[in-house]
């Protein structure tokens, strides 16, 4: 009979193509496009030249010149130095939207003196007061420096968004004169990015700046920055970006020389910048192969103290901005997970002047659709005619070509072709069509063969030999229940008993009893299995239906044994198994026994690998001999139930002290964290990484006021296992950014987790929380933790240095964290000493 058209491969190819066309704007596809773009940007190498340099307000500058914000006469002094040195343009990313006034007490003192008769009687006093007023008016002083320099370009904050009405107030005149007037092109092709609010600098500074540009940042859906908003429209008035203004001033141009062609380009003199419909530019990011910036960066303090020859800045574009930790915000870019705004600005300015930027030409959209159509025709017309092997080869070649062309155009031609959709269509279509072919043909034939009783019986015996008892039982149940099935079912029940899965053994025996109740000792075995199920259970956490039970000795029941250990009682359950109280009868030693039902989490080759990994990790953990690490005595396996015998501790984990109403004294938290840090330092020296540091894995022994780290190696053992809901085992709230990203981790990841736990023990709150797993992972990877002094203000008096310690231990970049637990412990001891001194 002729097969219906809707069952044919070509029709499946049509449906798959339509499905992927519908998913074109899906976040997964767009995320792949962004990832491909980021990869190409990282791989692109160009020279930015030496025209753009950076003066960084770094940690050294803050340590030497004081906390931020500084008095503006410091900034005025810097502008004077750069102007005298002959800097071409001075760009400033520091927002100047608020006036910097003298302290109220000083103002009151001056007013009091002026209102008294002392001024009238003492002219020298009046002169001193006049001088003080001038000195205290730091905004005027900075404005004078701007005026004298004549080349300072200031930034102003715009909030991007679609306006719903009219602005609250008119922009000041000094800002309006920086608006663009040469705007051409068709509004249907594009328009400047709209903004809903503007925060200009204070007038005394804005009026003396050579130019003003907006500092608006456009974030992609994933929170990354890939484009520069060259123009922004504020209720009908268009303003250039700070980067565009700086580039213009370096070419001796002003806003009248900037020409905007809507949705196509922005021209700056003889320079033309190809833009998106929203007037965005995709800038180049100038980094070395190791990811470091190519721009010259000098410390503000070194320049301020003349440690750097001022002649270095002659004829340069000098950008001043913050790079110190805690001053300003870092952003995710294609080449960095934490780039400071001043470096983003430097890349944009250099991209404009060097004409290095990525473009999406008008013909790209047509070409992308043509490629998609070509791949769709391949799936519909060609792939169904190819053999499985040839289809795999051709599809792999086409996939490689798509990815290769996309990256070649991006890296060599600076053209962004978005070919991830056809690439996904190709790979997904191939898998779906090949799977359909298998299910309809080979699988259909296999199912027809298995329909026969003999085939089911043979397959059942084969599965039983391989240890896949559940599948064997399924096959046996499809067989006619006659005398030929008595022996296979009886032997299968024995296999289930050997694995202590007595409930399943009973199911097999009850099926056997339906047609052969008198066969051997079936009735007695059913009673025994029922008795075992009602007494004591071994097995996986959560009470799985496949749990095992007690050992039998003739007709009686005795205490269960695991290896040479007697099991006394259950102590608790975890994600992968149960912990029991046990005893080694040979030496009468009490132990804790952690069991892991590996056979219920892994199958086939994965089970063998899991067992090998289990004993390797147990051996590694057993070599750790430290007063604050639980001692491992033994490890073994019994019928696919792996176990570890370890030191039994009379205590409880630190989890009960993570609530705000049950916190330990501050000094105790510091002492216990010092012990944990030293224990981790020792383990890391032995090349052992814990991977799952959290309160539940640290036992608190109240009798000796000490702690013991547990579960070394368990996280690695369970790496490839999944819970019942499909979530990878682990505790994301305590994981480091690199661990969440799936990167290779070392001891510094454990220290990050310890820092999270330390923060929680001090405050009763986790430093990173989210409404969903994706939200939590994003915050851990990108957001700074809340200042602990704001969460628990009393620490400011007891241990003010704690903020700096937490900033370092919770740094997103492993290289910026404490590099060993010993160094972390040393700083905690210093804080502890201060706590004790403050308590006296």
Which of 439, 429, 437 shows the shortest CA–CA distance to 395?
Answer: 429
- Omega within 30 of 0 (cis) for the link into 69: yes
Beta strands in 58-161, from DSSP E residues, in sequence order: 89-92, 152-160
Per-residue 3-state assignment (H helix, E strand, C coil) for 222-268: CCECCCEECEEEECCEEEEEHHHHHHHHHCCCCHHHEEEECCCEEEE
Write the burial class of residue 17 (CB in 10 Å: 0-12 exposed, 13-18 middle, 19+ buried).
Answer: buried
Which of 140, 153, 149, 240 shows the shortest CA–CA distance to 193?
Answer: 240
Listed as own residue / partner, the contacts of 732-735 with beta carbons closer than 8 Å and 24 or more positions apart are 732/773, 732/776, 732/777, 732/780, 733/694, 733/766, 733/768, 733/769, 733/776, 734/692, 734/693, 734/694, 735/780
Q: Which residues are catalytic?
A: 692
The Cα 693–Cα 710 span in angstroms is 9
Write the burial class of residue 64 (CB in 10 Å: 0-12 exposed, 13-18 middle, 19+ buried).
Answer: middle
In three-state secondary structure terms, 45 is coil
The Cα 680–Cα 694 span in angstroms is 13
Q: Nearest 10 degrees: CA dihedral of 161, 164, 170, 175?
A: 20
DSSP state of 117: T
The Cα 229–Cα 214 span in angstroms is 9
708 and 629 Cβ atoms separated by less than 8 Å: yes
The Cα 162–Cα 196 span in angstroms is 6
φ, ψ for residue 524, nearest 5 deg? -65, -40
693 and 750 Cβ atoms separated by less than 8 Å: yes
The Cα 544–Cα 724 span in angstroms is 10
* Residue 488 structure tokens: 């296979």
In three-state secondary structure terms, 540 is coil
Which of 328, 96, 106, 365 shows the shortest CA–CA distance to 207?
Answer: 96
The Cα 658–Cα 468 span in angstroms is 44
In three-state secondary structure terms, 813 is coil
Which of 269, 262, 284, 258 shows the shortest CA–CA distance to 193?
Answer: 262
The Cα 502–Cα 598 span in angstroms is 18
H-helix or E-strand containing 679?
helix 666-685
Which of 218, 357, 191 shows the shortest CA–CA distance to 278?
Answer: 191
In three-state secondary structure terms, 443 is helix
Q: In sequence order, what DSSP letters do the residues of 749-778 get, joined into one string? A: HHHHHHHHHHHHHHHSS-S---SSHHHHHH
The Cα 788–Cα 533 span in angstroms is 51
């Amino acid at each position: 009979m002729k097969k219906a058209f809707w069952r044919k491969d070509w029709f499946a190819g049509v449906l798959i193509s339509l499905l992927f066309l519908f998913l074109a704007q899906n976040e997964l596809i767009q995320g792949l496009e962004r990832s491909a773009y980021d990869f190409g940007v990282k791989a692109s190498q160009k020279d930015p030249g030496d025209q753009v340099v950076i003066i960084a307000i770094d940690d050294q500058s803050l340590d030497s010149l004081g906390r931020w914000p500084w008095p503006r006469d410091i900034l005025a002094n810097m502008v004077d130095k750069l102007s005298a040195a002959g800097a071409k343009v001075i760009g400033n990313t520091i927002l100047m939207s608020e006036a910097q006034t003298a302290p109220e007490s000083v103002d009151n003192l001056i007013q009091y003196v002026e209102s008294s008769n002392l001024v009238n009687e003492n002219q020298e006093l009046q002169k001193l007061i006049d001088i003080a007023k001038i000195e205290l008016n730091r905004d005027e002083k900075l404005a004078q420096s701007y005026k004298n320099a004549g080349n300072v370009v200031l930034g102003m904050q715009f909030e991007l968004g679609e306006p719903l009405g009219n602005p609250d107030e008119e922009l000041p005149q000094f800002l309006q004169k920086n608006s663009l007037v040469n705007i051409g092109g068709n509004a249907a092709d594009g328009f400047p990015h709209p903004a809903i609010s503007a925060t200009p600098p204070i007038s005394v500074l804005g009026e003396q700046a050579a130019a003003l540009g907006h500092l608006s940042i456009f974030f992609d859906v994933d929170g990354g920055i890939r484009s520069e908003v060259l123009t922004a429209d504020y209720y009908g008035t268009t303003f250039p970006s700070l980067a565009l203004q700086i580039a213009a001033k370096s070419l001796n141009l002003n806003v009248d020389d900037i020409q905007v062609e809507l949705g196509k380009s922005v021209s700056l003199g003889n320079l033309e910048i190809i833009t998106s419909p929203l007037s965005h530019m995709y800038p180049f990011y100038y980094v070395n192969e190791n990811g470091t910036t190519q721009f010259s960066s000098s410390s503000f303090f070194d320049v301020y103290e003349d440690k750097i020859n001022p002649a270095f800045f002659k004829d340069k574009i000098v950008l001043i901005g913050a790079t110190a930790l805690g001053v300003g915000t870092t952003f995710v870019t294609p080449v960095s997970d934490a780039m400071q705004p001043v470096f983003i600005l430097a890349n944009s300015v250099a991209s404009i002047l060097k004409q290095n930027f990525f473009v999406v030409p008008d013909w790209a959209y047509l070409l992308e659709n043509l490629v998609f159509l070509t791949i769709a025709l391949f799936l519909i017309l060609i792939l169904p005619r190819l053999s499985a092997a040839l289809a795999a080869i051709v599809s792999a070649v086409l996939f490689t070509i798509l990815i290769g062309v996309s990256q070649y155009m991006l890296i060599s031609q600076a053209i962004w072709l978005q070919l991830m959709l056809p690439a996904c269509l190709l790979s997904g279509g191939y898998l779906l069509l090949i799977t359909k072919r298998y299910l309809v043909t080979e699988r259909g034939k296999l199912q027809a063969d298995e329909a026969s009783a003999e085939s089911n019986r043979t397959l059942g015996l084969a599965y039983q030999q391989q240890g896949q008892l559940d599948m064997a039982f399924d096959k046996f149940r499809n067989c006619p229940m006659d005398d030929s099935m008595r022996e296979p079912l009886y032997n299968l029940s024995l296999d289930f008993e050997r694995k202590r899965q007595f409930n399943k053994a009973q199911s097999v025996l009850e099926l056997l009893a339906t047609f052969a109740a008198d066969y051997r000792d079936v009735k007695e075995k059913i009673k025994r299995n029922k008795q075992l199920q009602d007494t004591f259970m071994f097995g996986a956490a959560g009470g799985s239906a496949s749990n095992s039970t007690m050992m039998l000795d003739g007709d009686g029941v005795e205490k269960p044994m695991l290896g040479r250990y007697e099991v006394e009682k259950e102590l608790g359950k975890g994600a992968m198994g149960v912990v029991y109280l046990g005893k080694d009868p040979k030496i009468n030693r009490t132990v804790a026994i952690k069991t892991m039902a590996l056979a219920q989490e892994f199958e086939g080759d994965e089970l063998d690998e899991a067992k090998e990994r289990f004993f390797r990790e147990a051996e590694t953990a057993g070599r750790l001999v430290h007063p604050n690490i639980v001692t491992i005595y033994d490890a073994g396996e019994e019928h696919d139930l792996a176990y570890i015998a370890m030191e039994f501790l009379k205590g409880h984990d630190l989890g009960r002290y993570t609530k705000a109403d049950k916190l330990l004294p501050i000094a105790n938290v510091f002492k216990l964290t010092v012990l944990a840090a030293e224990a981790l330092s020792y383990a890391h020296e032995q090349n052992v990484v814990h991977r799952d540091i959290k309160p539940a894995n640290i036992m608190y022994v109240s009798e000796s006021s000490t702690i013991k780290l547990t579960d070394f190696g368990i996280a690695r053992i369970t790496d490839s296992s999944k819970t019942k809901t499909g979530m990878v085992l682990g505790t994301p709230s305590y994981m480091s950014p690199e661990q969440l990203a799936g990167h290779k981790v070392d001891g510094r990841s454990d220290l990050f987790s310890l820092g999270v736990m330390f923060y929680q023990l001090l405050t009763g709150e986790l430093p990173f929380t989210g409404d969903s797993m994706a939200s939590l992972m994003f915050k851990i990877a990108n957001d700074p933790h809340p200042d602990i002094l704001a969460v628990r203000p009393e620490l400011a008096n007891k241990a003010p240095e704690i903020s700096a310690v937490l900033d370092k231990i919770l740094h997103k970049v492993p290289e910026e964290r404490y590099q060993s637990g010993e160094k972390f412990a040393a700083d905690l001891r210093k804080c502890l000493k201060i706590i004790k001194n403050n308590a006296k």
